[in-house]
Structure 1
């Protein structure tokens, strides 16, 4: 088995890669200004990933974080997550806004796009909150300070149970003033039992689709918290990697796994009240940072049956994106935990590697023998050489003081003759 080699290095927190039909690879740098990195996302092209490391910038000044790349019919579709926008970049460098005005900013963003067998553009929109209620974690992350701020929007008609969470009011200037916040409303807004909130498009926590020019935006499925990875299999099935909720915020949950779903049109995937069909009230989800979550939605019997996942990954591995090998096996990037933000201090280090999923029984196992990775975030197979390409985000850790990261530590690996499907 050939040892993995670096084919692009010195990258600032890259998130995405895609190949064109000629075998050229495009890599997106997120534009996140961690560790002194220059702000603003950019896309680099490597013309000969099998023999050189010289790349050129094909587009820059993108809204951070850039979360995805899609190649279709001679153009790149770039997901500018921080702006709630998807931009088409043509061969001459011209830009056309395809999707705009998506909800945000929030905890999660407008994610990667893929073109389906029907010629439509499919993409996911992450949730604004951890588990449906805007909490103090949003204030700590910074975006709650922007007024007016975003909140979650349902993709199907819902009725609220009237659960409200009492927290300190960070805008009061004191540590004793409290405020109540319900679900699917702005911070500091209480809700009532039986309160109805109608479906809206665009919504959060959803997979959506539109024409390639952005027209006819519509909902595909709702209740996927943050479907960061999206892709069609050769047989036309749409899969999504959905990142599980964390032990943080006003409605914390413990031990929630990341999930791999098959996405069915009209389906509800459980968020914010179920995890792979299991209610959040189940004792297995008891958090350490707060009480067991109760239901925020009423009348579950009027909603579609919550879908169960094909695969449940270990909690906090932060599964991101996947690629299908010629054998049908899936390789999934596991970015890794972000303790102490997403789990209490002392939580064991997990993720930071690759997993193989066998679609015959949906079993998983670690992919051994690969490169030493800091934070794998995207994977793809080269159309010409069949090699496995892996994007490493770079050195990035969370601490009690915030992000600790080092710029120019991201890279692209090529792994010839990988044996993950043996």
Structure 2
């Protein structure tokens, strides 16, 4: 009888431990989120969002989820329907501000008023037909920021550009006036900031184009005036603001491909300031393209495209990844919801992790995902970090474990039960030992 009781108590302990572990992580069939912090919990709050692009919450608990050609509204009751549905759309990003939805699609940015249901085009003719089309949007204090990617890998059109055959006249449009050094590639046939098979000459002036590639533009939502906020930013893959309005973004580094291949570059996290040039295409991560970082072991090191750079000391990143083409979605914890105030969270697609970056530049992993995951958007909402997994079609929440009175009471009861079970087992073992000694 005692052995049976002992076995029963052992099973209870195993179940208890299993429940404690599972409360920290999410297991949903093959979907899994592993949390590294025991003070965090994860849960799936929405399913059926496969191939979604982005999402936003309106401050009232209602969600707007963007797909390629539609925006789905999901209210706090769980009711859902499309508020925007147009087969000609190709939505990349979505934002919400004062009863309006803002979304980027193809070469334009639109507003949709949720009250009168009217759609307006804010800006068009965005040069968004090259390698990096995923326009990223962020609203802060009445200003809509839009990040426009580069058309090419490193400023030169080449056979690596899959769109070249169908769009032979696409190239990088400079957001500021520049003067070229006259360097050409592919047997001197193709120059920078020019169509394929069009060469440059030394001293050639490239006129300013608004909006331009590899830039962030700012649109005043009250006056509708727009300007170039920052430039020389190759491709922003995630963007948010701190509580003080500082723009933060993940930025892709140049790759080892094309007519001007760059070796050993990385992805970066930058604080992005107004009026600054961030180096593309002659610097990356604050380093010149002819530095040892990129030229070590290379037969012929790269040289500058621009005859004169806006600065020889562009801003350095606050974080550098181990890999290129790795970093993605980014969100800033403005209120300190699940960690330190203004700490930065970003997704690493190579590692399949969400990482936390504090104000000292220390990076730590907080969550791991399986290889099927594709996290396309991160947003903070009240006391949680919301995580959109486009490939698995889930919206998940990562939050701090509650420490209110009720949860504390529950934890105390659990530990009392656990302690009682442990003491009972010890008593039984002692009694068994005494019994054995008496029979000898």
User: TM-score if structure 1 supplies the norm length?
Assistant: 0.77
Distance 1:94 1:371, change over 3 A: farther
Q: Considering fraction of residues, name the structure with more helix.
A: 2
Q: Is the 8 A contact 2:282 2:305 kept in 1?
A: yes
Q: Is the 8 A contact 2:330 2:344 kept in 1?
A: yes
Whose radius of gyration is greater, 1 or 2? 2
Task: Note the 1:52-67 alignment, pairs <5 A.
Answer: 55-61=80-86, 65-67=90-92
Cα deviation digits, residues 185-242 of structure 1 (max 9, x gap): 0111010122121222111100111222683221111100011322221112111221
Q: What SS is found at the alignment partner of 2:164?
A: helix
Q: Partner of 2:32 in structure 1?
A: none
Q: Partner of 1:353 in structure 2?
A: 353
Query: Which one is further off, 71-80 or 310-319?
Result: 310-319
Q: What SS is found at the alignment partner of 1:284?
A: helix
Q: Partner of 2:149 in structure 1?
A: 126
- For the residues of structure 2 that align with 1:292 and 1:10, how far apart are their CA atoms? 49
In the alignment, which of 100, 106, 128 is matched to residue 104 of structure 1? 128
- For the residues of structure 2 that align with 1:137 and 1:240, how far apart are their CA atoms? 26
In the alignment, which of 99, 121, 127 is matched to residue 74 of structure 1? 99
Q: Partner of 1:219 in structure 2?
A: 228
Q: Partner of 1:403 in structure 2?
A: none
| 1:46 Cα deviation from its structure 2 partner | 2.5
Distance 1:291 1:60, change over 3 A: farther
In the alignment, which of 180, 194, 201 is matched to residue 192 of structure 1? 201
Unaligned stretches of 5+ in structure 2?
1-22, 26-41, 403-440
Q: Are 1:21 and 2:59 counterparts?
A: yes
Task: Note the 1:396-407 alignment, pairs <5 A.
Answer: none
Q: Is the 8 A contact 2:329 2:346 kept in 1?
A: yes
- For the residues of structure 2 that align with 1:211 and 1:273, how far apart are their CA atoms? 31
| 1:94 Cα deviation from its structure 2 partner | 2.5
Q: Partner of 2:46 in structure 1?
A: 8
Q: Is the 8 A contact 2:352 2:369 kept in 1?
A: no
| 1:99 Cα deviation from its structure 2 partner | 1.5
State the 4+ residue runs in structure 1 displaced beyond 3 angstroms.
62-65, 286-292, 302-305, 368-373
Higher RCO (CA-CA < 8 Å; seq separation 6+): 1
Q: Partner of 1:388 in structure 2?
A: 385
| 1:289 Cα deviation from its structure 2 partner | 11
User: TM-score if structure 2 supplies the norm length?
Assistant: 0.74
| 1:313 Cα deviation from its structure 2 partner | 1.8
Q: Partner of 1:308 in structure 2?
A: 316
In the alignment, which of 392, 395, 400 is matched to residue 412 of structure 1? 395
| 1:10 Cα deviation from its structure 2 partner | 3.4
- For the residues of structure 1 that align with 2:223 and 2:326, how far apart are their CA atoms? 30
Task: Note the 1:204-283 alignment, pairs <5 A.
Answer: 204-212=213-221, 215-283=224-292
Q: Partner of 2:113 in structure 1?
A: 90
Q: Are 1:377 and 2:371 counterparts?
A: no
Distance 1:414 1:194, change over 3 A: same
| 1:65 Cα deviation from its structure 2 partner | 4.2
Cα deviation digits, residues 86-115 of structure 1 (max 9, x gap): 111121543111121111311112612222
Unaligned stretches of 5+ in structure 1?
32-40, 168-178, 337-349, 395-408
Q: Is the 8 A contact 1:254 1:288 kept in 2?
A: no
Distance 1:250 1:148, change over 3 A: closer
Q: Is the 8 A contact 1:114 1:230 kept in 2?
A: yes
CA RMSD of aligned residues (A): 2.6
| 1:255 Cα deviation from its structure 2 partner | 2.2
| 1:120 Cα deviation from its structure 2 partner | 2.2
Distance 1:10 1:358, change over 3 A: same
Distance 1:286 1:14, change over 3 A: farther
In the alignment, which of 169, 191, 208 is matched to residue 182 of structure 1? 191
Q: What SS is found at the alignment partner of 1:201?
A: coil
| 1:371 Cα deviation from its structure 2 partner | 7.3
Aligned length: 357
Distance 1:160 1:370, change over 3 A: same
Q: Is the 8 A contact 1:43 1:57 kept in 2?
A: yes
- For the residues of structure 1 that align with 2:289 and 2:109, how far apart are their CA atoms? 33
